[in-house]
């Protein structure tokens, strides 16, 4: 990345690394924040939309996330993980929104159900065809299980990124994800949503 980052157009900020943005922040904090917004706004919007199931609410959540980001004094510190923090705040705000609306049953309704469980059962669940059945099964999961499944299979975050978002150890991510997968499969089998 060029040493003169501030001369790059904002639409190119999606390809910047966090290190590039932090380097820019040393000379131009406003431009660095604009780069953060450009880089993450779409990802955060789709993450929020997936949880709250409403365009305007997702948009409002993302706006609130970026307001919090502007007030976060450590955001450009060397050790601060911008992406993880943004996803964590987005998830927290979304789940608070859902709880406040008492719409827990609507979380993840656009996800899909498998025709049958294959060797990689959970990925099959997320690649199937009948959305309503999977949504019904996911409604029966805890928020923790829903969140980790969304982060892994919908947002396609790595285990390490999930660990950063949830502020837990990598081993904890692996065990939580394993338990969430097993619980999802059990719920679907109990509900006769799979063959």
Model confidence over 141-166: pLDDT tens digits?
888 888 888 788 777 788 888 888 88
> Is residue 130 within 8 Å of 161, Cβ to Cβ?
no
pLDDT tens digits for range 4-63:
434 444 455 567 888 999 999 899 999 999 999 999 999 999 999 888 888 888 998 999
Cα dihedral 153, 158, 163, 166 sign: negative
Quote the domain boundaries for residue 91: 9-104
Question: How many angstroms separate the CA atoms of 188 and 137, rounded?
Answer: 6
Residue 33, pLDDT score? 92
Same-domain pairing of 130 and 148: yes
pLDDT of residue 133 exceeding 60, the answer is: yes
Answer whether residue 155 is part of any domain: yes
Residue 92 belongs to what H/E stretch? helix 82-101
Give the residue-averaged pLDDT of 118-142: 61
- DSSP annotation of 181 reads H
Structure tokens of 187?
């719920």
Which domain-ending residue is among 104, 130, 165? 104
Task: Extract the runs of DSSP E, i.e. beta strands, from 37-157.
Answer: none
Answer whether residue 2 is part of any domain: no
Same-domain pairing of 80 and 161: no
Contacts of 160 (CB under 8 A, 6+ apart): 170
Please state the domain count of the chain: 2
Same-domain pairing of 59 and 129: no
Which domain-ending residue is among 53, 70, 104? 104
Same-domain pairing of 180 and 116: yes
Same-domain pairing of 90 and 175: no
Lowest mean pLDDT among 36-45, 105-114, 131-140, 153-162: 105-114
Cα dihedral 85, 88, 94, 96 sign: negative
Which of 41, 23, 143, 30 has its CA nearest to residue 83? 41
Answer whether residue 3 is part of any domain: no
pLDDT of residue 67 exceeding 50, the answer is: yes
Structure tokens of 77?
């510190």
Same-domain pairing of 119 and 87: no
pTM for the structure as a whole: 0.59
- DSSP annotation of 153 reads I
- Residue 162: CATH number of its domain: 1.10.10.10
């Amino acid at each position: 990345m060029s040493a003169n980052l501030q001369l790059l157009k904002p639409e190119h900020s999606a390809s910047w690394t966090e290190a590039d943005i932090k380097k820019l922040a040393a000379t131009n904090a406003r431009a660095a924040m604009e780069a953060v917004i450009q880089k993450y706004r779409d990802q955060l919007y789709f993450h929020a939309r997936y949880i709250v199931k409403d365009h305007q609410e997702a948009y409002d959540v993302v706006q609130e996330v970026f307001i919090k980001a502007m007030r976060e004094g450590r955001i450009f510190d060397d050790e601060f993980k911008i992406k993880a923090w943004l996803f964590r705040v987005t998830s927290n705000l979304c789940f608070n929104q859902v709880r406040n609306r008492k719409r827990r049953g609507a979380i993840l309704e656009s996800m899909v159900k498998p025709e049958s469980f294959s060797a990689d059962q959970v990925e099959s669940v997320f690649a199937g065809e009948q959305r309503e059945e999977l949504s019904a099964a996911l409604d029966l999961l805890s928020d923790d299980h829903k969140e980790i499944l969304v982060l892994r299979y919908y947002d396609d975050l790595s285990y390490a990124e999930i660990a950063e978002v949830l502020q837990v150890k990598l081993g904890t991510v692996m065990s939580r994800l394993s338990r969430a997968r097993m619980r999802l499969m059990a719920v679907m089998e109990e509900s006769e949503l799979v063959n």
